[in-house]
Amino acid sequence: MFRSLLLSMLLIPTLAAELVGWKLVWSDEFNAKFIDSNKWSPCERGTSDWNDTMTSDPRCFKISGGTLRLIGIVNPDKEKDPSPFLTGGITSQGKFEFTHGKVEIRARFKSAKGAWPALWMLGSKGGWPRNGEIDLMEHLNDDDKVYQTVHSAHTMSPAGKEGPPKSTTAPVDREAFNTYGTEWDAEKIVFTLNGKPTMTYPKVPEKGMDQWPFDQPFYFIFSMQIGGEWVGEADPKDYPAHMEIDWVRVYQKAG
């Protein structure tokens, strides 16, 4: 499923419209027959809540009709792999990373008990949470809302309770495509939903790098996790489920 494409397919697509004051610097419209391995790698299995069911099994990835589906399925062979579920995820780590800009990702998901689709970014330097995390969208179960959150050493410490607020929720039509995004610069992170701001997380200089590790390159992770401490137990009868991504676009200030 992961395959390098011809050079012509690596050029930034012309159908991604420019925005006033912004220049498109990177995108994927998922219009090819294969996931572009020059841009993405499959997420590896780990021990964290978000990746303990990850797999490179091709049944968990489908690209067609101009969208990418990351799929969660019931594991049919637990003798080969003890995980009760298998899930797909992709990351741009080591292939595309950027510092500051505007991000928009158009996506939708099939809700299910225990499903946890997420569109997010991690800082490339240092271990978590000191490297920083920007969660553009996380959805749980059958909720009619999504979470948008930042994580850092500050937000994960007792001092983080003093603010600034690190997270918000926003209502969504969970059956429809929505555009999740951020405008991120050296002073603030503004989360957006369908082009409208939902929350601003500001830099607080006196709190130091623990509060603001966001002046370094970040990379994308798109994950379709099933089950975990936060989302709760999954119901096998609800699966397969998926997250469908239409496109991802990254802009930086023009001029």
Question: Is 44 known to be catalytic?
Answer: no
Question: Is 133 known to be catalytic?
Answer: yes
- In angstroms, the CA 172 to CA 170 distance is 7
- In angstroms, the CA 76 to CA 164 distance is 45
CA-closest candidate to residue 9, choices 40, 34, 46, 43: 34
**Local structure of 8: helix, strand or coil:** helix
Catalytic residue among 29, 97, 138, 244: 138
Q: Distances from the Cα of 225 to the Cαs of 51, 52, 84, 145, in angstroms?
A: 7, 8, 12, 17
Classify residue 234 as exposed, middle or buried by CB count within 10 Å of its CB (0-12, 13-18, 19+).
buried
CA-closest candidate to residue 54, choices 116, 134, 140: 116
Q: Distances from the Cα of 18 to the Cαs of 21, 132, 197, 219, 246, in angstroms?
A: 9, 28, 19, 22, 17
Q: Residue 7 contacts by C-beta under 8 Å, 6 or more apart in sequence?
A: none
Catalytic residue among 29, 97, 133, 244: 133
The dihedral sign for the CA sequence 172, 141, 247, 91: positive
The residues annotated as belonging to the active site are 133, 138
